[in-house]
Amino acid sequence: MKRPAPRTLRGQLTAGLVVLLALACLAVGVFTALALRGFLMGRLDEQLAASGGRFAASLEHEAAPDADNRPDTRGQANATFGARLLRGDVTQAAVIDDDTDRSVPLTAEDRHVLTGIPVDGSGHSIRLSDLGRYRVTAVAGDDGDTLITGLPLHPVEETVHRLEAVEAVLFTAAVLVTGFAGALWVRISLRPLQRVTARAAEVAGLPLASGEVAMPGPLPDTDPRTEVGQVGSALNHMLGHVEDALTRRQASEERLRHFAADASHELRTPVANIRGHAELALCHSGPVPAPVHHALERIGAETRRMTRIVDDLLLLARLDAGRPLERAPVDLTLLILDAAQDARAAGPAHHWILDLPEEPVTVPGDAHRLQQAIGNLLGNARTHTPPGTDVTITLTTGHDRACVEVSDNGPGIPDDIRPEVFGRFVRADTARSRSTGSTGLGLAIVQAVVTAHDGTISLDSGNGHTVVRLSLPFDAARST
Tens of pLDDT, residues 202-229: 777 776 666 666 777 777 766 677 777 7
CATH number at residue 7: 3.30.450
Of 305, 323, 341, the position where a domain reaches its end is 323
What percent of the chain shows pLDDT beyond 70? 81
- What domain range includes position 409? 325-473
pLDDT of 478 reads 40
Buried b (16+ CB within 10 A) or exposed e, 87-113: eeebebbbbbeeeebeebebeeebbeb
Percent over 90 (pLDDT), the chain: 13
- The answer to whether position 109 is within a domain reads yes
Residues 303 and 401 grouped into a single domain: no
pLDDT above 70 for 47: yes
Question: Does residue 202 lie within any of the structural domains?
Answer: no
Let me know whether 3 and 85 are in one domain.
yes
Query: Residue 114: pLDDT above 80?
Result: yes
In tens, the pLDDT along 267-294 reads: 667 777 777 777 777 777 777 777 877 7
**In terms of pLDDT, which residue wins out, 299 or 437?**
299
- How far the first Cα of the chain sits from its last, in Å, is 60
Check whether residue 168 and residue 128 sit in a common domain: yes
Domain boundary residue, one of 304, 323, 342? 323
pLDDT of residue 23: 92
Task: Say yes or no: 161 and 230 in one domain.
Answer: no
pLDDT at 106 over 70: yes
Is 34's pLDDT higher than 90? yes
What pLDDT, on the 0 to 100 scale, is given for residue 415? Answer: 76
How far is 50 from 48, CA to CA, in rounded Å? Answer: 5
CATH assignment at residue 256: 1.10.287
Cα–Cα distance, 54 to 69 (Å, whole number):
14
Same domain, 235 and 154: no
pLDDT of residue 480: 35
pLDDT-derived band at 33, boundaries 50, 70, 90: very high
Residues 157, 249, single domain; the answer is no
Are residues 31 and 173 located together in one domain of the fold? yes
pLDDT at position 97 over 50:
yes
Does residue 244 share a domain with residue 143? no
171 and 232 part of one domain:
no
Q: How far is CA 256 from CA 253, 264, 309, 427, in A?
A: 5, 12, 16, 21
183 and 156 assigned to the same domain = yes
As a whole number of angstroms, the distance between CA 318 and CA 372 comes to: 15
What does the pLDDT average to over 125-129? Answer: 90
Minimum mean pLDDT range among 118-122, 177-181, 276-280? 276-280
Mean pLDDT rounded to a whole number for the chain: 80
Q: Do 288 and 336 share a domain, yes or no?
A: no
Least confident of 136-145, 189-198, 337-346: 189-198
| Percentage helix, strand, coil for the chain under 3-state DSSP, each rounded to 5 | 50, 20, 30
pLDDT confidence of residue 265:
63
Query: Do residue 308 and residue 421 come from a single domain?
Result: no
Helix or strand or coil: residue 319?
helix
Q: What is the tally of structural domains in the chain? A: 3
Lowest mean pLDDT, pick from 131-140, 234-243, 282-291: 282-291
Beta-carbon contacts of residue 386 (< 8 Å; ≥ 6 apart): 410, 411
Burial of 429 (0-12, 13-18, 19+ CB in 10 A): middle
Res. 477: pLDDT tops 70: no
Lowest mean pLDDT of 1-10, 198-207, 398-407, name the range. Answer: 1-10
Residue 152 has pLDDT above 80, yes or no: yes
Antiparallel, parallel or unpaired: β 362-365 and 401-408:
unpaired
Q: What is the pLDDT of residues 314-372, one digit of tens each?
A: 667 766 666 667 788 989 889 889 888 988 988 889 999 898 888 888 899 888 888 88
